[in-house]
């Protein structure tokens, strides 16, 4: 490409190592120029030709950086993003956007004032199953959808000793972690609900952060239910949709995360493709008889997120995941927590107000 965007990644844990650095390194028009890793040499070993810095001050002193990617604990997101924006850098924040909607609003105002791109890494919009679901809904095969259940369930019953994820600080917990993905997808598909009713739980022995939830979104003629837990030896279906013409049931998660963790080459042959045995099933009525058939899963591709960020910075495309959508997701999750605490449904009307 005619212009290269130089990027720096803050944090080299799972997020920085798996979900961010490889994309800045591999995508045309982007260049992984610097990594802030406060301790250790894992980043230097993985990317020997990239500058490794040990502080935010040292990172921002790199004058050639255009884009800062923040992949650190949620409670640190606001201050790091504020510093980057004030240094006139474009910013990508891993999910959850920030710990509170108030912080999100402040960053949005700062980004507007500085005329910088500010986005949230909602990579699961490019999961193959979610792309498939969007196509299925657009096809009309299901008729009018009356309910959707979406799950993200794992089995991790032990509290991780000394893990930052287990600390009782703003932004931690499964609601802000997995809930950020599920809520974002629901908002993309169906827009702002009328109300939210939630049950937020603390299931593991000794946990001080929420680690399970059931969040129900009410629309005029639709109910969306979102579930997550860390105690599921037998996870439920990823999606269940019922419509006036049929039903769709899908098990299993998009394969990209496991491929990246396993060291697969990003964008290699058959990238993001799912085995036919994992495809969802579509059931419709034909001559009064229920007929089930496989519904092929489209290939997923997380590269599309960073390609869009690149194009938005260069003024070639609108931003696919603007910060305003990150604010809306965080505000919805805050409402869900309020609902659980108050044991009642909470109106979502204020979500329609653009920050």
Task: Please write the tens of the pLDDT for every residue from 300-343.
Answer: 999 999 999 999 999 999 999 999 999 999 999 999 999 999 99
Residue 224 domain-assigned (yes or no)? yes
30-36 and 5-10 strand pairing: parallel
Would 284 be classed as within a structural domain? yes
Both 62 and 177 in a single domain? no
**pLDDT bucket at 8, cuts 50 / 70 / 90:** very high
Domain range for 274: 128-299+332-352
In a domain, 326, yes or no: no
Residues 168 and 285 in one domain: yes
pLDDT over 70 (residue 198):
yes
Please report, for the domain that includes residue 222, its CATH number.
3.30.360.10
- Using the predicted structure, report yes or no on whether residue 355 has a pLDDT greater than 90: no
Residue 338 lies in a domain: yes
DSSP H or E segment with residue 42: helix 42-46
The rounded distance, in Å, linking the Cα atoms of 111 and 131 is 29
Contact 312, 323 (CB under 8 A): no
CB-hemisphere CA count at 13 Å for 342? 12
- With cut-offs at 50, 70 and 90, classify the pLDDT of residue 162: confident
Whether residue 313 is found in the same domain as residue 277: no
- Name the maximum alpha-carbon separation found in the chain: 69
pLDDT at residue 180 greater than cutoff 80? yes
Tokens encoding 4:
């290269």
pLDDT at 353: 62
C-alpha to C-alpha distance for 236 and 212, rounded to whole angstroms = 14
The DSSP-derived string for 138-203 is HHTTT-SEEEEEEEEE-B--SPPTT-GGGS-STT-SHHHHHHHHHHHHHHHHH---SEEEEEEE--
Look at residue 214 and tell me whether its pLDDT is greater than 70.
yes
User: pLDDT band for position 2 (50/70/90)?
Assistant: low
Could you tell me the CATH number of the domain that includes residue 310? Answer: 3.40.50.720
- Please check whether residues 185 and 229 belong to one and the same domain: yes
Tell me, what's the pLDDT at 349?
Answer: 75
Say if residue 316 is in the same domain as residue 197.
Answer: no
| Section 259-283 average pLDDT | 96
What is the rounded average pLDDT of the residues 102-107? 97
Question: Is 327 a member of any domain?
Answer: no
Same domain flag for 212 and 101: no
Residue in 82, 71, 67, 69 with CA at minimum distance from that of residue 113: 82
Q: Tell whether 295 and 203 lie within a shared domain.
A: yes
Task: Please give the pLDDT value at position 278.
Answer: 97
Does residue 86 share a domain with residue 43? yes
Q: How many CB atoms lie within 10 A of CB 203?
A: 14
Residues 107 and 248 both lie in one domain? no
| pLDDT at position 1 over 50 | no
Which residue in 42, 49, 352, 80 sits closest to 193, CA to CA?
A: 352
Q: Could you read off the pLDDT of 237-247 as tens digits, one per residue?
A: 999 999 999 99
Long-range contacts, stretch 38-42, CB < 8 angstroms, 24+ apart: 40/12, 42/12, 42/17
In a domain, 102, yes or no: yes
Residues 108-112 have a mean pLDDT of 98
pLDDT at 287 (0 to 100): 87
Residue 275 belongs to a domain: yes
Mean pLDDT, the chain, as a whole number? Answer: 96
119-132: average pLDDT: 98
23 lies in a domain? yes
C-alpha separations of 300 from 209, 267, 272, 297 in Å = 31, 10, 5, 9
Residues 227, 252 within the same domain: yes
91 and 146 part of one domain: no
Give me the residue label for tokens 């992949």: 71
Shared-domain flag, residues 289 and 342: yes
The least confident of 11-15, 33-37, 161-165 is 161-165
287 vs 242: CA distance, rounded Å: 19
pLDDT of 351 > 80? The answer is: no
Strand blocks (E) in 171-312: 195-201, 212-219, 222-229, 239-243, 246-250, 280-286, 289-295
Please state the rounded mean pLDDT for residues 173-179: 98
Angle at 72 between CA 166 and CA 18, to 5 degrees: 100
pLDDT for res 288: 86
How many domains does the chain divide into?
A: 2
């Amino acid at each position: 490409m005619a212009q290269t965007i130089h990027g720096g990644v803050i944090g080299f844990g799972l997020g920085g190592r798996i979900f961010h650095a490889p994309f800045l390194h591999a995508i045309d028009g982007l260049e992984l120029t610097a990594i802030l890793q406060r301790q250790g040499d894992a980043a230097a070993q993985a990317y020997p030709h990239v500058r490794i810095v040990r502080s935010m001050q040292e990172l921002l002193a790199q004058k050639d950086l255009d884009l800062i990617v923040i992949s650190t604990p949620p409670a640190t997101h606001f201050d790091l993003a504020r510093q980057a924006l004030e240094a006139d850098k474009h910013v990508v924040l891993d999910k959850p956007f920030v710990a509170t909607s108030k912080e999100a609003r402040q960053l949005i105002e700062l980004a507007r004032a500085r005329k910088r791109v500010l986005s949230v890494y909602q990579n699961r919009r490019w999961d193959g199953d979610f792309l498939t679901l969007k196509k299925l809904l657009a096809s009309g095969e299901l008729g009018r959808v009356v309910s959707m259940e979406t799950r993200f369930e794992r089995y991790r019953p032990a509290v991780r000793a000394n893990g930052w994820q287990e600390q009782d600080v703003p932004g931690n917990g499964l609601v802000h972690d997995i809930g950020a993905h599920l809520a974002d997808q629901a908002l993309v598909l169906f827009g702002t609900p009328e109300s939210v009713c939630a049950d937020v739980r603390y299931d593991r022995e000794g946990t001080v952060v929420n680690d399970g939830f059931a969040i129900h979104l009410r629309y005029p003629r639709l109910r969306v239910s979102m579930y997550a837990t860390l105690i599921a030896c037998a996870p439920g279906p990823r999606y269940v949709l019922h419509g006036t013409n049929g039903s769709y049931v899908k098990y299993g998660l998009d394969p990209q995360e496991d491929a990246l963790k396993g060291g697969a080459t990003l964008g290699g042959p058959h990238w993001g493709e799912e085995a036919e045995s994992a495809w969802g099933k579509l059931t419709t009525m034909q001559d009064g008889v229920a007929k089930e058939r496989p519904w092929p899963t489209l290939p997923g591709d997380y590269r599309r997120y960073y390609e869009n960020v690149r194009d938005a910075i260069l003024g070639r495309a609108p931003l696919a995941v603007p910060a305003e959508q990150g604010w809306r997701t965080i505000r919805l999750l805050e409402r869900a927590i309020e609902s659980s605490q108050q044991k009642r449904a909470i109106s979502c009307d204020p979500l329609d107000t653009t920050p």
